[in-house]
Amino acid sequence: MKKSIFLALSAIVFIHITSCDKLVPGAPEPGDTIAEPTDGLTPAQMAQFIAGDELFAKVFTPAEGLGPIFIQNSCEGCHVGDGKGHPFNTETRFGKLTPTGFDFMLDKGGPQLQFRSLQNYIAETLPPGYTHTSDRIAPIVIGMGHLAGVSDADILALADPNDLDGDGISGRVNYVEAKDYFNPQPFHIQDPTQSGFYIGRFGKKAKEITLLDQIVFALKQDMGLTSDFDTEDLYNWQIANGAVDNVPDPEVGSDVVNKLLFYMRTLKTPTRRNENDADVLAGEQVFDQIGCVKCHVSTMKTGYSEIEALNNKTFHPYTDLLLHDMGSLLDDGVPEGDATGSEWRTPPLWGLGLAEDSQGGTGYYLHDGRATSLEQAIGFHATGEASNIANNYYALTQAEKDNLIAFLKSL
């Protein structure tokens, strides 16, 4: 079992490395619609993009600091082909509900479980006393620079925390504490009630303010790699400090982090397929009319960017970047920042039709991949803020439902 998994993983990496040859600017091949650079990069930016692409696919070794406990040995191992990942690499966050709030059990290896380890080390298991777990599969990572470029004011303008317009939908922002290295841009807005707290937008509950935060977290919590931004290795409660490796910290320098950041910023938003088919166009109308678009907002824009390709661009992510209370069906009891167990950030729907390609033939949808079809994913909207919209979906004719799915697959 283990051997075949390893072969499968190296096959993925191998395919990726050979596909680098295609990064020379030119018309994308049919079907080759993700893992491409954003249009309009300068030659120097293209070189940075390629360096970042290589690091995203790079398999880190024990000598470079991998682990000793980890979940995967490369970014791409989870975000296959920059797309959605397989449940085989599920991240598990855990903690304990106490009378005074939720405790991420940092002294017991929280907030995340590293269930793989190097040879001669013990993998982490859930510690005694935990009460809740939150499983997450890797999301698609294209278009991140576009999402990062939306101003906080634009996100706040979509929020309706007290549902003043009475449509049952009350998206709100997640104010999270900024890291000490945070360098706020003019468009970042601080929580009016708590200094040092800013609007999160990355991760399934929007707990990360910036792409840099997300990458630093991934290096450490997914791969066991320390960086200039977080120099402390993971801790395994079962063997205490025996879990620390002998590779000097930081294990990766800020040059590596910055190249990954540039790559994440400049991965192209996905090219749509069949967007002018009659059923796709009809499905788009259904999507708008029954109210999916209230949360999966179709059009956003970036503000100023020093990268011309990201500067004042309009794009179509199908997310409002807000938290929504999805009710009991999707409640896992694990809060993050202001987000409760049942609140999730609206995921972008771009690239949805490509999910099966990167997930091994079957699509896995929702935060933990529990839905294996788009119809099932919509079914899980039946409790909480989206319940009226889910009812609208159930009232559609079969032809209208089919068109809606055709539209989703064209994204």
Binding site for ligand HEC (CB under 6 A): 71-72, 75, 77-79, 89, 91, 136-139, 141, 144, 169, 202-204, 207, 211, 214-215, 218-219, 222-223, 260, 264, 290-292, 294-296, 324, 326, 330, 344, 346-347, 365-367, 374, 377-378, 381, 385-386, 389, 393, 408
> Quick check: 167 binds Ca ion (CB under 5 A)?
yes
Q: Which is nearer to ligand HEC, 195 or 235 (CB)?
A: 235
> Quick check: 169 binds Ca ion (CB under 5 A)?
yes
Q: Which is nearer to Ca ion, 62 or 270 (CB)?
A: 62
CB of 82 to Ca ion, least distance (A): 24
Q: Which is nearer to Ca ion, 373 or 391 (CB)?
A: 391
Residue 367 site contact among Ca ion, ligand HEC, none (CB < 5 to 8 Å, cut-off depends on kind) = ligand HEC
Q: Using the CB atoms, write b or e for 170-195: b if 16+ within 10 Å.
A: bbbbbbbbbbeeeeeeebbbebeeee
Residue 339 site contact among Ca ion, ligand HEC, none (CB < 5 to 8 Å, cut-off depends on kind) = none
> Quick check: 107 binds Ca ion (CB under 5 A)?
no
Residue partners of 149: CB distance under 8 A and separation at least 6? 302, 303, 305, 310, 313
For residue 68, whether the previous peptide bond is cis, meaning omega lies within 30 degrees of 0, is: yes
CB of 99 to ligand HEC, least distance (A): 26
**Which SS3 state, helix, strand or coil, does residue 11 take?**
helix
Structure tokens at 108: 């017991």
Residues that bind Ca ion (rule: CB under 5 A) add up to a total of 11
Residue 167 site contact among Ca ion, ligand HEC, none (CB < 5 to 8 Å, cut-off depends on kind) = Ca ion
Residue 353 site contact among Ca ion, ligand HEC, none (CB < 5 to 8 Å, cut-off depends on kind) = none
Dist CA 308 CA 35 (whole Å):
19
> Quick check: 158 binds Ca ion (CB under 5 A)?
no
Q: Which of 37, 52, 109, 335 binds Ca ion (CB under 5 A)?
A: 109
Q: Which is nearer to ligand HEC, 35 or 377 (CB)?
A: 377
> Quick check: 111 binds Ca ion (CB under 5 A)?
no
Restricting to residues 48-77, name those near Ca ion by CB under 5 A: 65
Dist CA 224 CA 304 (whole Å):
35
**Helix 43-57, helix 2-19: angle, nearest 10:** 170
Taking CB under 5 A as the rule, which mask of x and - marks residues 305-344 in contact with Ca ion? ----------------------------------------
CB atoms within 10 A of CB 325: 20
Dist CA 191 CA 177 (whole Å):
9
Residue 65 site contact among ligand HEC, Ca ion, none (CB < 5 to 8 Å, cut-off depends on kind) = Ca ion
CA–CA distances in Å: residue 8 to residues 12, 80, 103, 129, 376: 6, 11, 37, 35, 28
Q: How many CA atoms lie within 13 A of 260 on its CB side?
A: 25
Angle, CA of 344, 142 and 47, to the nearest 5°: 145
Q: Which is nearer to Ca ion, 34 or 234 (CB)?
A: 234
Are the CB atoms for 343 and 323 separated by under 8 Å? yes
Compute φ and ψ for 57, nearest 5 degrees.
Answer: -90, -15
CB of 28 to ligand HEC, least distance (A): 22
Binding region for Ca ion (CB under 5 A)? 65, 109, 114, 160, 163, 165, 167, 169, 224, 233, 245
